Structure 1
Amino acid sequence: MNYILCHKDINVLNLEILNDEVYAINEIYNDERVPLFLKSQKTVNKVTAFREWWKGRCIPSSRQNLDKFLSEIAGLSLNSLIIKSMGLSLSDQYWIKPENSHLKWKDVNF
């Protein structure tokens, strides 16, 4: 499924997620808003770099009782949980939405 990485309400790039894993970066819409971690990467390494950044947005696997929590919410993985939470983080204004979604930053901002 394709998603749009947004910086607030600005579409930054189009990415594809398969089996709860970032599979491809299809198109960059706004190079000025691309997160810094991607700007310094060669084209071949962009997906790998994105996956590392994405993993950093998840609940740390060392969090106490994380396994119990995940099993209680229908056995979701950390990757599926971050997708369901639209990749939101308290540390920045990046988030994802399904490609055809009309959601706005004000609809999802914590």
Structure 2
Amino acid sequence: MMNRNDIGYIFVQYINDPNNGKKRPILIIRDSDEMLKFYKITSKYVNKSVNIKKNYFEINDWHYAGLRKKSWIDINHPYSIDKPSEFYNGLKHFDHLSENDIFRFETFIKTH
């Protein structure tokens, strides 16, 4: 079981092509016996619209979190998967947010 603010990697299906997808980092919101709830983490920020950028939280300490490049948490849509499932079984624990980013993220969530 993973903890809130842990970072994992999971296979996420493409919306337009559910037979394909990619492994992506995710931020755990809640991991219960029945379900895993999470936000996607992305490195794609620059070309997003102003409205989309409003829902992206910048991870300042992305190296500390074990990410390979500057990244943002997309809070526009929380995702969930049932447990057990093939997607949950493929989840790999990676790392977690720094204390500084956790504090900033909680403040960010409260204002959105």
TM-score, length of structure 1 as denominator length: 0.28
By percentage of residues, which structure has more helix? Answer: 1
By percentage of residues, which structure has more strand? Answer: 2
TM-score, length of structure 2 as denominator length: 0.28
